[in-house]
Structure 1
Amino acid sequence: MSGKLSAINLIKDSLTRQQFIKSQTVKADTLNQIALTLATPGARSADLNEAINYIMEGLHIYSKFRDSTGLRETFDHLALVYHLQKKYVQAKWFYIQSNSLSRDMRDTLNIIHSLLNLSAVKTDIKDYPMAQRDLRDALSLAGTIPGIDLQVEVQNSIARFYTKKGNADKAAAALYRIAFLTDSVSQAKQMALNQQQQKAKELADKQKQLILQQKQFTEQKLTKEKNGITTIAVMIIALLAVVCFIVLFKRKQ
């Protein structure tokens, strides 16, 4: 009996701890969300400093409870605020932490996003070769994910990179690539829609043909039945005529 009670108490303690951890990470999520409402382009310096305080408070909670996803998001948020403050060294450092954690988690989507953010910081400090390398890596990874959304996002970053660098031709090429990708998907969707419509039409035609064949079969069956009834009626009439003839013939005798 005491063993069962110990097991029950252990389960209760485990559930209580999970609920407590959840409540704390929700608190950290809320702190980060408050920070993001303050950290906007053109925000006052005081608001950006306050945003950092909120994010750091959340960071301690995520770290305490080993919430990897929360930590990664917090690194991104801190990097964002430092980027807005034009504190590029700090911004780059936190984006690198986000990238490293994303790689540890094998989170391709956020590896790409951290590379794009790193590229933006490096572009602002005119470290163009390294920014270009990050964009190239991001584009390569985006190609491994189905769909074009990430490729379009990377191409937009490439267009901004070349615009800031003053290379209008390459910026235009990136925008052309976006148009090409979008158009290709539109054509593929239209082709798929046409195929679906064609299959639907073929199915409808087959159903019409089956209905027509069934109707013809029914009509033929009814015709045969009518002909059969008519034949029987003629035979009956003929038989009656013979009977009548025989009866009349006997009477005359």
Structure 2
Amino acid sequence: MIRVFVFFLLVVWYPALRAQDATPDTVSQTVTVEAKDALYYQRQAKRTKNPTVALQLLNKALSIRSTTQDDNWVADIRVEMALALLKSGKTKQAFSEFLTAEKIYVTTGNAVSRADILTHMARFYEKNSAWKEANQYYESAKKIRQLNKDVSAAANASLHLADIALVQNDLGKAGTNVAYAIKQYQALENKTGLALSYVKLAEIYRRKKQYKKGERIIIDSALPFFRSTGYQAGRIDCFDVLGKIYFSQKRYSEAKWFFIQANTQSRELNDVEGIIRSLTSLSKVKIAIGDYNLAKRDLKEAQSLASRRGNLFLLANVKQAYASLYQKVGNVDGSENASEISDELKDSLSNIQIAQAESARAARIKVIVPKKEHTPSVSAKQDSGLLIVQLVAAALAILIVILLILKRIK
């Protein structure tokens, strides 16, 4: 009986222990392979620049999630999918993902991430001139930011709300939002935020014909802050607003100088849209002072750049400036033709924006994917089987020892 016990230990128990404790003899035998779990596919999706591939990877990540990936993780994946869908031009599907993610964040109480989604949607509507929805989502995001004491993000939302109010020429609402932003940025000592706020305030003053106030706030506050922070794009905005302030007062030589500065800075930054805007503004000054040939040269370059860029809004503005030029030189047909083209371009842009906004409005919440139980890997199953063998062997060994002891007692 003892021989049987020893044989059992040598054949079953000892090999099992050796298999469990076996380690590679050398470092070169160790190969690290990244587990292809949900997080792996999420990381791969972030690395690719192809939105279609990103969607495939994110769907894979969602389908194999384990219990370690909670509902907030699912919502994060939904947001990433929405952004990829927007890049693919699939607005309705993108907003379905946004709305689904928002609902999850409401359930989990993740207010910060919910505010981020609201901001994404607000920017989309703002870009497509859907002012009602843009205003609604920015306001909601701002309230959440305020409740969570994220004053910088709340101030940023206020500046967007001010932009929307300026488009609608609601100077009272624009002023209220800018004042709020200035107060928050002052508390944070955020010079860039303050400078951006002052530029918008200067535009409000310009529209109110309070030109001196607008001029001083740019020269004394906005420009110095932008210089100290090295924010060159902000300086372009300053030059643009100053140019408009002087143009509104028919101080054409000063307006021309500032528009030239905006044009020069835009070229240094390779800001094509900034170049187009400054050229169009320069042409208006030159038309006003009778430099028609120079104005035409500026508009020709602006039109070429806007056409290559495919920017209907800027191209429509260029055509409208052409209409003014032709009218000044007595070319009635040319003026009417340019004006008609400008209107057609604006209508085309408006139709595109309306279609995009309608597609977003038609979005519905998707069914939330339930949690999936983690499926053990092959290696885990092998470890489990080995453990069972060891337990059985141990039980048999103990049983044999007990039997031997009982036999001796007898």
Name the TM-score, length of structure 2 as normaliser. 0.37
Identify the residue that residue 197 of structure 2 maps to in structure 1: 30
Q: Give the 3 Å change call, closer, same or farther, for CA 68–171 of structure 1 in structure 2.
A: same
Q: CA contact under 8 A between 1:21 and 1:65: conserved in structure 2? A: no
1:96 and 2:260 correspond: yes
1:132 and 2:300 correspond: no
Task: Flag the structure with higher helix content.
Answer: 1
Q: CA contact under 8 A between 1:72 and 1:98: conserved in structure 2? A: yes
Identify the residue that residue 269 of structure 2 maps to in structure 1: 105
Report Cα offsets for 1:94-147 as digits up to 9, x if no partner: 101100111111111110000000000111111111111111110111111125
Report Cα offsets for 1:35-78 as digits up to 9, x if no partner: 1111027x2xxx21111000112111111211111101001011
Once the 2 structures are TM-superposed, how far is the Cα of residue 180 of structure 1 from its aligned partner?
6.2
Further displaced range: 174-183 or 115-124: 174-183
The one-letter amino acid of 1:24's match is K
- Measured in 2, the distance between the counterparts of 1:64 and 1:185 equals 38
Q: How many residues are treated as equivalent by the alignment?
A: 167
**Equivalent of 1:71, from 235, 240, 243?**
235
Identify the residue that residue 169 of structure 1 maps to in structure 2: 333
- Measured in 1, the distance between the counterparts of 2:350 and 2:215 equals 43
1:69 counterpart SS class: helix
The one-letter amino acid of 1:49's match is K
Further displaced range: 30-39 or 127-136: 30-39
The one-letter amino acid of 2:308's match is T
- Measured in 1, the distance between the counterparts of 2:335 and 2:190 equals 46
Query: Alignment identity in percent?
Result: 33
Q: CA contact under 8 A between 2:313 and 2:345: conserved in structure 1? A: no
Identify the residue that residue 249 of structure 2 maps to in structure 1: 85
RMSD: 2.9
Q: Which runs of 5+ in 1 are unaligned?
A: 1-19, 189-253
The one-letter amino acid of 1:31's match is Y
Max Rg structure: 1
Identify the residue that residue 284 of structure 2 maps to in structure 1: 120
Superposed counterparts of 1:173-184, under 5 Å: 173-178=337-342
- Measured in 2, the distance between the counterparts of 1:24 and 1:70 equals 11
Identify the residue that residue 307 of structure 2 maps to in structure 1: 143
Name the TM-score, length of structure 1 as normaliser. 0.59
Once the 2 structures are TM-superposed, how far is the Cα of residue 87 of structure 1 from its aligned partner?
1.3
Between the two structures, name the one with larger relative contact order (CA 8 Å, sep ≥ 6): 2
- Measured in 2, the distance between the counterparts of 1:142 and 1:55 equals 29
The one-letter amino acid of 2:215's match is I
The one-letter amino acid of 1:38's match is Y
Superposed counterparts of 1:156-235, under 5 Å: 156-178=320-342
